[in-house]
A and B are shown apart, each in its own frame.
Chain A
Amino acid sequence: DVKVTQSSRYLVKRTGEKVFLECVQDMDHENMFWYRQDPGLGLRLIYFSYDVKMKEKGDIPEGYSVSREKKERFSLILESASTNQTSMYLCASSSLTVLVGYEQYFGPGTRLTVT
């Protein structure tokens, strides 16, 4: 079974703090993704990575950065957290195999509250 783990289930941070969210997958997947999930908006892609040290912006990258130093690990960084970044953050991974249509596997999510 594919397993995607995230470092925290719940996180409370203050405005202006630097926040690190970490994600690890154990299936040797090439692709990794960070989304935020908000009620009524579904999942919106923040960043994704298709290889170590490679990254591409998603639909809402402003205020976020990412790091992928190892294939299995993908970090999301909030340089200076703001209250509008309070959300559920989901990490996902997928293989490069076109035969499975790049099906994504998700972690449990981190609910971040910025006060």
Chain B
Amino acid sequence: AQSVSQHNHHVILSEAASLELGCNYSYGGTVNLFWYVQYPGQHLQLLLKYFSGDPLVKGIKGFEAEFIKSKFSFNLRKPSVQWSDTAEYFCAVNALGDYKLSFGAGTTVTVRA
């Protein structure tokens, strides 16, 4: 089974600051990678995903993530955060052909207005 590590438990930022959340996984084979977001009081929703091709993927709300295979990483970035980006962010991985996702512990992001 894969394991997923998210480096930061809680990140506090001011509006317009840049955001980068780290995600590393442990699995040597081909993987699919996901970032999910959970806004306060809302259900978990997909932010972006990587299956193959260009390792830089763009998602909703100005987020992007870069897959670096040699580092087993899939870090999430946003150049300029807004107050509405306050949420919990989860990185998830599955091995190619596996139905199940392995999730990281999550990172809570608080953006101060």
Contacts and interface: CB of A to CB of B under 8 A. Distances in A.
A60 interface: no
Interface residues of B, number: 26
Interface in B1-29: 1, 4, 6, 9
Contacts of B36: 106
B3 to A, nearest CB: 11
Interface in B36-95: 36, 42-46, 49, 51, 90, 94
Contacts of B32: 101-102
Interface residues of A, number: 30
A66 to B, nearest CB: 15
Nearest to A58: B100
A103 interface: yes
Contacts of B45: 106
Contacts, number: 59
B99 A94 contact: yes
B103 A31 contact: no
B46 A103 contact: yes
Contact of A42 (B34, B51, B99, B104): B104
Contact of A50 (B34, B99, B105): B99
Nearest to B108: A39
B43 A107 contact: yes
Given A42-B106, A43-B103, A101 B49 contact: yes
14 contacts: A35-B103, A40-B105, A42-B106, A43-B44, A44-B103, A45-B101, A48-B100, A59-B1, A90-B44, A101-B51, A101-B94, A106-B36, A106-B43, A108-B43
* CB-CB nearest 6 A-B residue pairs: A101-B32, A106-B44, A42-B105, A43-B103, A42-B103, A108-B43
Interface of A: 4, 31, 33, 35, 40-45, 48, 50, 58-59, 90, 92, 94, 96, 98-109
